[in-house]
């Protein structure tokens, strides 16, 4: 790989480490949910430039396997953006990429209070960058509670099949409800990517119990991607929203049952 180089970037001012504030411990209304989802959009968006910068630093015709891996990560992050966008559209919230707060600052912290000790910067591809930045973002997390481990193992036995529009075709009601049970039992650290998305899943579940019209967004705004590097779910209710969140966690972090799940497993060296 090439040596790390310094790239001029916008410096984060004191107290401005995050595009959006960290998630609160209790969510009472839709405004809080909208903020969480905007934070998720910013989080996924903020991970793409570091990967692209590293990929574009590789010399043409060299390190092709490294380029392939990084490109696959970028495609997955784009899938995550689309999944968050579908969740937002399903509840009638518009994903806005022209929001100035969505533009990340480097070097800086990730949005939403995720992994607050990790500083993300731009630079050429190197072993050091893979270890210190990329593996910090992608490091698999373990839902610590034993009940959560069992629920996750149960989910791993399902294999959702989607039609060209992103609708789940092959799961019964019990299987469709499996992510809800998992998120109720899992015990991610609150500052990890898994903890951040578990919180969103719990908020969606809580609000859905009290608002029968939560998922009343225009279904025509759902994005489909038949050949996506993963599953882009058509989100129309709580069940499909939670499957979408589970897809992000599985791709982004991997999980304890299979540490190789995710784009940059811990074997990189």
Integer Cα distance of 219 and 235 in angstroms: 8
d(CA 266, CA 269): 8
How far does the chain reach from its first CA to its final CA, in angstroms? 11
Please give the pLDDT value at position 144. 58
Task: Look up tokens 């500052």; give the residue.
Answer: 191
pLDDT of 140? 61
- Check residue 215 and give its pLDDT: 97
User: Is residue 256 predicted with pLDDT exceeding 70?
Assistant: no
- Gyration radius (Cα) of the chain, Å: 18
Q: With a cut of 60, say whether residue 216 has pLDDT above it.
A: yes
Structure tokens of 94? 């518009």
Residue 10 has what pLDDT? 40
- The structure's pTM equals 0.83
Question: Of 15-29, 176-190, 199-213, which one has max mean pLDDT?
Answer: 199-213
Rounded to 10 deg, the angle between the 146-155 and 178-185 helix axes is 160
As a residue count, the chain comes to 269
- For 79-103, the pLDDT digits (tens) are 999 999 999 999 999 999 888 888 8
């Amino acid at each position: 790989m090439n040596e790390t180089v310094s790239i001029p970037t916008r410096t984060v001012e004191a107290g401005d480490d995050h595009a959006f504030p960290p998630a609160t411990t209790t969510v009472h209304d839709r405004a809080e949910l909208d903020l969480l989802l905007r934070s998720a959009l910013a989080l996924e968006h903020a991970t793409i430039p570091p990967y692209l910068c590293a990929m574009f630093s590789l010399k043409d015709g060299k390190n092709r396997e490294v380029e392939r891996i990084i490109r696959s990560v970028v495609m997955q992050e784009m899938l995550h953006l689309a999944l968050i966008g579908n969740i937002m559209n399903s509840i009638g919230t518009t994903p806005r990429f022209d929001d100035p707060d969505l533009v990340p600052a480097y070097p800086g912290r990730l949005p939403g209070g995720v992994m607050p000790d990790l500083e993300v910067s731009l630079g050429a591809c190197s072993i050091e960058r893979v270890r210190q930045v990329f593996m910090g973002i992608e490091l698999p997390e373990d839902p610590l509670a034993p009940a959560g481990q069992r629920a996750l193992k149960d989910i791993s036995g399902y294999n959702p099949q989607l039609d060209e529009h992103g609708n789940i075709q092959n799961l019964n009601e019990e299987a469709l409800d499996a992510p809800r049970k998992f998120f109720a039992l899992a015990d991610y650290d609150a500052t990890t990517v898994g903890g951040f998305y578990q919180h969103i899943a719990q908020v969606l579940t809580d609000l859905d119990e009290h608002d029968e019209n939560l998922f009343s967004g225009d279904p025509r705004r759902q994005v489909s991607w038949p050949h996506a590097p993963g599953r882009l779910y058509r989100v129309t209710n709580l069940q499909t929203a939670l499957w979408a969140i589970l897809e992000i966690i599985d791709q982004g972090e991997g999980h304890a049952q299979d540490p190789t799940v995710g784009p940059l497993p811990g074997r990189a060296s």
